[in-house]
Amino acid sequence: MTVSTRLATRLAAFAAATLAAGVLGATAAEATPAPARTADLRLISFNDLHGNLTPPAGSSGRVTLPDGTAVDAGGAAYLATHAKRLRGEVKNSLLLTTGDNIGASPLNSALFHDEPTVAFLNLIGVQANVVGNHEFDEGYRELLRMQFGGCHPTDGCQFRPTFTGSKFPYLGANVTFDNGFPALLPFTVKSVEGVPVAIIGVTLEDLPSLVVPSGVEGLRFGDEVQALNSTSKLLDKVGVKTQVVLMHQGDNTEAGSGPDDCRTLPGPARAIATAASPSLDVFFTGHSHQQYNCVVTDPAGKPRTLIQGASFGRLLSVVDLKIDKRTKDVVRTATVAHNEIVTRTVAPDPAAQALVEEATTKSAPIANRQIGTITADLVRAAAPSGETPLGDVIADAQLAATSGNNAVIAMTNPGGIRTDLTYASSPAGEGDGVVTYGEAFAVQPFANIMQTITLSGAQLKAVLEQQWQPRPDGTVVTRFLQVSDSLHYTWSQSGTQGNRVSAITVAGVPVDPAAPYRVSVNNFLAAGGDGFTELVNGTDLVGGPIDLDALAAYLSANPGIAPPAPTRVTVVP
């Protein structure tokens, strides 16, 4: 019997036992008349924590309000306090998460393969989580270790003497092995006053484009709506009528949207939530790191909540349900939802704070080492052209690090830049303008390997045109590559697909479509990540340093870095 077959059998048995427990529990409860016809259930979820145990710095640690002001938010100890209060206000509550809790994490979690973050999630009582793309950063076997425990096969147990894994299931109804067997549990069932409540998890179908190929080798990621509909149909057949979705897929929002606004742009989350089975009552979403609180209409014309809580533990998405004990279904018209700001004005939870301090102390000798200085914040916020100050510096660092490969251009993906480099000193007290290794790690935590390839001028233009990626629903996703100062170009807002980019120069010389150019990108991009499939056609691949090492070396060699002027990319009407 293969590994996938054994695991599938184990998952199927576990799912069946969970389902039976929920349904049988409900059946037993029906024998005792309930004092009230409805049961109140509070669902609390957060998404895209990314191991941010310490309060995030800069814009990553603030929530924007509708009036444009901002509130400091986030931090595991404060999240624990808010979650505990919210759970205490309602008799029945479930604490859930919507993916990307691990991966792309700051050093005090990532140094220990995110074991501190899993310990935190266990501590606060998380009861279910859907996998996001970052749960696969270190591959499927490492995800299994996160679930079931055991020391890391290479590094051992460095955080604590043992690692017991997660006390909650990792869900993925649309994740299977190549042979079609399930690779993860599709759902879990909880009993609330005798009523079974199903938590279904689906992750984004295009997940393989967001991770290195080795991270998802042997796995398939199916259509979200199809997976939801088939799972919901099964649950309906066995009498589980209250169905909640954890979906690691999200929409973007208009600028200035507040935590409870519904100013979303057309995107995949709304498309899925309006198309999937009418039996599904609530959609918690993630991935896009946006804040919104919406009501959408299901295929039967009934309303249901679609909500997301930004990222990094800054918001808790709260949905209060009333469940009819007779029908075992949600009274949709009575649903109330809001996004709760995880303010830092409350007392931090002592146990969570102790855990954070333990991780921070153990990682401090590495995290607090000075590697460079800056004169002002280097931020990820983009100019109208898509260019960012921090992206400019990182691309320049990558070009410098691969000059020995004869590279003349470097390009990096914005999704690999996780936070700002801020001028103000961190709580560690290193001083204003000082950049520590831990701060640089928070910016580039993936340990991607630099690779230099040869592209023709025509292929280089094709790569730049792939910054605009059409979706099946007619919308266009824009992913602006951050480029080294050696590369300049213009793009047109009115240009058509494949014809937006012009005036490309390298070192001030117009690009020759037939000439070869040595281009440095990270291994994620080189494998076609983020939809940049033209890069796969590059030739003469030569490896380079880790991207973080390239950034650290550049900061060390160039003290007092100022934000570069955004002159590399020009946008015209």
pLDDT for res 175: 98
∠ CA 344-117-448, rounded to 5°: 110
pLDDT for res 25: 44
pLDDT for res 49: 97
108 belongs to a structural domain? yes
CA nearest 200: which of 215, 216, 217, 182? 182
State whether 334 and 394 are in the same domain: no
Q: What is the 3-state secondary structure (H, E, C) of 160-229?
A: CCCCCCCCCCEECCCEEECCCCECCECEEEEEECCEEEEEEEEECCCHHHHCCHHHHCCEEECCHHHHHH
356 belongs to a structural domain? no
pLDDT for res 27: 37
525 belongs to a structural domain? yes
State whether 319 and 382 are in the same domain: no
Report, in this order, helix, strand and coil percent for the chain, each rounded to 5.
Answer: 30, 30, 40
State whether 277 and 223 are in the same domain: yes
Encode burial over 464-494: b for 16+ CB neighbours within 10 A, e otherwise. bbbbbbeeeeeeeeeebbbbbbbbbbbbeee
* HSE of 549, CA atoms in CB hemisphere, 13 A: 10
CA nearest 430: which of 374, 348, 357? 374
State whether 391 and 333 are in the same domain: no
350 belongs to a structural domain? no
State whether 336 and 479 are in the same domain: no
CA nearest 244: which of 42, 101, 83, 49? 42
Among 296, 322, 341, the domain-final residue is 341
State whether 375 and 320 are in the same domain: no
Asked if 510 contacts 504 with a C-beta cutoff of 8 angstroms, the reply is yes
Q: Beta 449-456 vs 501-506: how paired, if at all? A: unpaired
Which H helix or E strand runs over 352?
helix 350-367
358 belongs to a structural domain? no
pLDDT for res 455: 98
Rounded CA separation 526/70 (Å): 38
pLDDT for res 19: 56
Neighbours of 41 (CB within 10 A): 23
Which H helix or E strand runs over 570?
strand 569-572
State whether 462 and 524 are in the same domain: yes
Q: What is the CATH number of the domain that holds 556?
A: 3.90.780.10
Distance, first Cα to last Cα, the chain: 60
State whether 272 and 334 are in the same domain: yes
State whether 435 and 328 are in the same domain: no
pLDDT for res 569: 98
Q: What is the 3-state secondary structure (H, E, C) of 494-531?
A: CCCCCCCEEEEEECCEECCCCCEEEEEEEHHHHCCHHH
353 belongs to a structural domain? no
pLDDT for res 76: 98
For residue 443, CA distances in Å to 343, 392, 422, 480 come to 23, 13, 11, 17
> What is the model's pTM?
0.84
Among 303, 325, 341, the domain-final residue is 341
Q: Where are the beta strands (DSSP E) in 34-142?
A: 38-46, 62-64, 70-72, 93-97, 128-130
Rounded CA separation 81/62 (Å): 18
* HSE of 176, CA atoms in CB hemisphere, 13 A: 12
328 belongs to a structural domain? yes
Q: 84 CB contacts (<8 Å, ≥6 apart)?
A: 124, 349
In tens digits, the chain (573 residues) has pLDDT values of 454 545 544 555 555 555 554 544 443 334 444 467 999 999 999 999 999 999 998 888 999 999 989 999 999 999 999 999 999 999 999 999 999 999 989 999 999 999 999 999 999 999 999 999 999 999 999 999 999 999 999 999 999 999 999 999 999 999 999 999 999 999 999 999 999 999 999 999 999 988 888 899 999 999 999 999 999 999 999 999 999 999 999 998 988 899 999 999 889 999 999 999 999 999 999 999 999 999 999 999 999 999 999 999 999 999 999 999 999 999 999 999 999 999 999 999 999 999 999 999 999 999 999 999 999 999 999 999 999 999 999 999 999 999 999 999 999 999 899 999 999 998 889 999 999 999 999 999 988 989 999 999 999 999 999 999 998 878 899 999 999 999 999 999 999 999 999 999 999 999 999 999 999 999 999 989 899 999 999 999 988 999 999 999 999 999 999 999 999 999 999
Rounded CA separation 405/39 (Å): 65
* CB-based burial label for 238 (10 Å; 0-12, 13-18, 19+): middle
Q: Beta 282-285 vs 242-248: how paired, if at all? A: parallel
* CB-based burial label for 573 (10 Å; 0-12, 13-18, 19+): exposed
Asked if 242 contacts 323 with a C-beta cutoff of 8 angstroms, the reply is yes
Q: What is the CATH number of the domain that holds 52?
A: 3.60.21.10
* CB-based burial label for 249 (10 Å; 0-12, 13-18, 19+): buried
For residue 96, CA distances in Å to 130, 356, 561 come to 9, 20, 42
State whether 422 and 326 are in the same domain: no
Containing structural domain, residue 553: 368-572
State whether 299 and 418 are in the same domain: no
Rounded CA separation 355/117 (Å): 9
354 belongs to a structural domain? no
- The residue whose two tokens read 């170009």 is 489
Encode burial over 126-160: b for 16+ CB neighbours within 10 A, e otherwise. bbbbbbbbbbbbbbbebbbbbbeeebbeeeeeebe
- Total tally of structural domains belonging to the chain: 2
User: Residue 511 corresponds to which tokens in the numbers above?
Assistant: 């690009």
Rounded CA separation 17/23 (Å): 10
Among 306, 341, 376, the domain-final residue is 341
State whether 394 and 310 are in the same domain: no
